[in-house]
Each structure stands twice: as C-alpha cells, then as structure tokens.
C-alpha cells in the first residue's frame, strides 16, 4: 500500500494528535472566555490571541515538526496583522482620517494581510517538498497557492453549523449545553487536523487534475488506510456540507454584495466537497475489490450518518475472500441484482414511511413518483460509468424543478434588493445542492458498479483485480 507521504510529511503526521489536542483546548477555552469571561479588554485580547495562535499553528505545524522553527514562527507572526484586521476598522478610519471609501481600504488591508502569510506558507512548504520534473515556475507557484487557499478556507468550521442541529438538547441545563458545545469543538478540532492531513496527502498530487479527481491510486486498501481514510474523508465531507448550508444562506441575505473573497470561499468549499466525496467513494470501491466482496447496499448506506458505522465496521473487519478471483467475478451479476432489489425495497419502505408518517391532511401522493426515479437512477449508476455525469443532475432537476420554478415566481414583485438576495441564494443553493447530489450518486455508483458490468469481459476484469492483491 503506497501512502504517498514524504519523510517530512510523515514527521508532521506522527504527533498530529498533539496538534488536535492543542486546537481543541484553545477552541473550548475560547468558548468559555467568550461566554463566561468578564466583558473587559483583557479577556477580549485573550480571545483574539488564542484564536490567532490556534489557527496560525495549523499552518506552522509542518515546519515545527521538521525543525524548521524559524519558518514556523515567521508564518505565525505574519498572521498577526490579519487577525488584528478581522475586526471592522472602517468606522475607526472614518473617525480618525479624512478619507473616502474607508470600507475599500479596510478590505484591501484584510486582503493583503491574509495573502502575505499564505504566500510565505506556500513558498516554504512547496520548496521543502520535491515537485515533479517539467513543471514551470509559474505553475509551481500558482497551483500550490490555489491549493493553500482552499486549505485555508477549509481548515476551520462554524460551530453554529453543528450546534443548530443539537440546540434542542440544551434547553434544560447550561451544564448540558457546555458539554455539548465542548463535544462540538472536539469534532471541529478533529476536522481541522483531518483537513491538514488531507492537504499533505493531496499536495503530492496537486499538479495533476486527474490525480486530484481520482485521489486514490488503484491498489490494495489495507485496514489501517481504510480506517483513517474513511474517518477523515467522511468527517470533512459531512462538515463541509453542513458549513455550506449555513454559509450560503447567510452570505446571500447579508447586506453587502458578493465579494471576490466570498466567491473564493464558496469555490473552495465546493472543491473540498468534490475531492473528499470522490476520495470517499473510491476508497469504498477499492476496499471491496481488495476484500473480493460485493457489498452494494452496505456500501450505499455509508453516506448516512450513524448508519454508516455499519458499513465502516463491516468493511474494516470482514475477512478477505479466499475463493479464486474467477469465482468472485462469476457471482458479480447475481450479487448485484440481489443488492439492487434490496436497495429498491429499502427505498420503497422509506417513501411509505415518509408518506404515512405525515398527518393525513399533509400527505401528497406525488411523493410516490420518487420510488421509480431513485430505483432507475441506481440501476443506471450500477451499469454505466458515464451515468455519473448525467443521472445526478437529471434526478435533481426532475425532483426539484417545480419547487425551483415556484421560487422564481415567488420573487416577482419584490424590490430589486430583496429579489437580488433571493436569487443569489437560489443560484448558490442550486449549485451546492446539485454537487451534493452528484457526490451522493457518485458514492452510489462506486457502491454498485464494477467495470465488469459494462465491459462483460471476465478475463480482463480478473487481470484488473490483480492490482488489488
């Protein structure tokens, strides 16, 4: 199994649990400082200092672990102006200076103070790591900078994206609330370290779009690689989706127009969504190949929180088949058909549960047309590789076209400001939702599909399976 980590990256990963503990401690500490600390300057500065230290430490960790102390310290120091200018200084500039366009000056300062340490991090890191031969100087700077930019946006999360799903638990006691918030920050701290691990892994593939879109090479997936790959990629995938839900809504209805930084933020999150989702899907398929098992439905439920623990433990602990590869290939079509029937039955039961679970006055028989749509979609995904480029978006449009049309009609007659905000929410929401549908259907594709179903060449597929031994 090729992990594709360099020696210096391995050094950064060996004690990354220490980084996770530091980040968790500082995030939880900031919560208590903000919630229970006195309202004075000292505690305000303490909160800002801890926030700066924990977020800049993530960028400096690689250098500290490889005894490049000066570079790590310099990167952290260069982040200080950015965190100073995180507060809105436009009113201060208006009051003390006789200038116009103070907001523009403030935004420019934030932009500069953010990019200076990011550029230094990019140069220091990618000069330390070897780059492939034949890459021009321009590409060797711009491509890593784009990767570091995506990393900088993905490394942190808004705790409200998780808290709003659990706040009903906290109505009775403040102690319960504090415990729950602490757990949320532990999850977010794990996500921070997971994103750093993902960045180190993908930085070795960053110069090739094909390697980014297929982030796992065809090879046997060991239990250790599967375990950590599953946990890391699913954590990033799920929290990215939750972050986008809240961010798109708040950005669309904010008082300001969409800025270039906002667009960059959205594109970064969509990039993380696509790469982490494809990594997760390929990991599951290649683990099936390694075990010589066809676990279609169990693979499919891996996208569902909590239920995916079943998929995780089965794929982690099930023993590899000792039967000949020819026997595995011979039974593939029969196993596929059985799993598709089980999947169809589960979808039907779920739709019936949704229908009869609603009060009689709110039941809509139209919900039943989702049954054939979902079943036809998964049948196509199980048979054709090209279906991943068509089926997810067709299903999305088929299911939500009338809702989208009603929403557009709803904006007619509104003032241009409100209409613009609603439309920006629609476009951002549609893009994000369509890509989420793409990732879900890509996972379904990798759960049920094998190359044998499309090529019908048993001998060729047996040779292909040799790569997973």
Q: Which of 213, 237, 262 is the last residue of a domain?
A: 213
Domain count, the chain: 2
Q: Please, are residues 394 and 448 in contact by the beta-carbon 8 Å criterion?
A: no
Q: Does residue 266 form part of some domain? A: no
Are residues 300 and 442 located together in one domain of the fold?
Answer: yes
Q: Does residue 85 form part of some domain? A: yes
pLDDT top residue among 38 and 410? 38
Q: Does residue 248 form part of some domain? A: no
pLDDT top residue among 224 and 99? 224
Q: Does residue 430 form part of some domain? A: yes
Q: 421 CB contacts (<8 Å, ≥6 apart)?
A: 252, 253
Are residues 178 and 296 located together in one domain of the fold?
Answer: no
Are residues 52 and 123 located together in one domain of the fold?
Answer: yes
Q: Is residue 171 scored above 70 in pLDDT?
A: no
Q: Does residue 231 form part of some domain? A: no
| Structural domain range at position 112 | 7-213
Are residues 302 and 437 located together in one domain of the fold?
Answer: yes
Determine the pLDDT at residue 102. 61
Determine the pLDDT at residue 208. 86
Q: Is residue 414 scored above 70 in pLDDT?
A: no
Q: Which of 192, 213, 234 is the last residue of a domain?
A: 213
Q: What is the pLDDT of residues 29-72, one digit of tens each?
A: 888 888 787 777 777 788 888 888 988 999 999 999 999 999 99
Q: Does residue 194 form part of some domain? A: yes
Q: Does residue 230 form part of some domain? A: no
Determine the pLDDT at residue 182. 87
Q: Is residue 411 scored above 80 in pLDDT?
A: no
Are residues 203 and 288 located together in one domain of the fold?
Answer: no
Give the whole-angstrom CA distance, residue 398 versus residue 369.
Answer: 10
Determine the pLDDT at residue 2. 44
Q: Does residue 447 form part of some domain? A: yes
Q: Which of 213, 229, 264 is the last residue of a domain?
A: 213
Are residues 13 and 159 located together in one domain of the fold?
Answer: yes
């Amino acid at each position: 199994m090729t992990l594709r980590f360099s020696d210096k990256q391995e050094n950064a990963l060996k004690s990354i649990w220490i980084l996770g503990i530091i980040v968790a401690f500082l995030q939880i500490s900031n919560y208590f400082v903000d919630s229970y600390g006195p309202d004075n300057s000292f505690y305000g500065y303490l909160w800002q200092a801890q926030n700066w230290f924990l977020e800049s430490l993530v960028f400096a960790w690689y250098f500290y672990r490889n005894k490049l102390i000066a570079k790590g310290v310099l990167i952290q120091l260069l982040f200080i102006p950015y965190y100073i200018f995180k507060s809105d200084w436009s009113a201060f500039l208006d009051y003390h200076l006789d200038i116009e366009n103070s907001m523009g000056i403030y935004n420019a300062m934030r932009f500069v103070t953010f990019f200076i340490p990011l550029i230094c991090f990019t140069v220091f890191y990618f000069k330390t790591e070897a780059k492939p031969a034949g890459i021009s100087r321009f590409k060797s700077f711009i491509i890593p900078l784009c990767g570091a930019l995506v990393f900088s946006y993905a490394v942190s999360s808004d705790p409200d994206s998780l808290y709003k799903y659990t706040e009903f638990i906290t109505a009775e006691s403040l102690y319960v609330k504090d415990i729950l918030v602490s757990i949320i920050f532990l999850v977010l701290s794990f996500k921070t370290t997971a994103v750093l691990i993902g960045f180190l892994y993908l930085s070795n593939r960053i110069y090739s779009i094909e390697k980014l879109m297929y982030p796992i090479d065809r090879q046997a997936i060991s239990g250790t690689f599967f375990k950590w790959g599953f946990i890391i990629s699913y954590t990033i995938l799920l929290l990215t989706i939750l972050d986008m839900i809240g961010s798109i809504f708040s950005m669309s209805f904010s008082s300001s127009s969409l800025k270039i930084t906002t667009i960059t933020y959205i594109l970064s999150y969509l990039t993380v969504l696509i790469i982490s989702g494809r990594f997760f899907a390929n990991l599951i398929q290649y683990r099936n190949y390694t075990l010589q098992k066809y676990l279609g439905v169990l693979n499919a439920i891996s996208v569902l929180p909590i239920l995916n623990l079943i998929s995780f433990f089965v794929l982690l602990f099930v023993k590899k088949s000792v039967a000949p590869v020819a026997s595995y290939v011979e039974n593939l079509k029969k196993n596929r058909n059985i799993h598709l029937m089980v999947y169809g039955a589960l979808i039907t039961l779920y739709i019936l549960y949704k229908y009869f679970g609603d009060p009689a006055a709110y039941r809509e028989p139209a919900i039943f047309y989702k049954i054939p749509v979902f079943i036809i979609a998964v049948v196509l995904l199980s048979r054709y590789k090209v279906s991943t480029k068509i089926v997810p978006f067709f299903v999305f449009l088929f299911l939500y076209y009338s809702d989208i049309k009603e929403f557009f009609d709803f904006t007619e007659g509104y003032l241009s400001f409100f209409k613009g905000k609603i439309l920006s929410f629609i476009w951002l929401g549609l893009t994000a939702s369509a890509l989420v549908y793409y990732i879900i259907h890509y996972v379904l594709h990798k759960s049920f599909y094998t190359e044998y179903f499309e090529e019908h060449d048993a001998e060729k597929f047996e040779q292909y399976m040799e790569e997973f031994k």
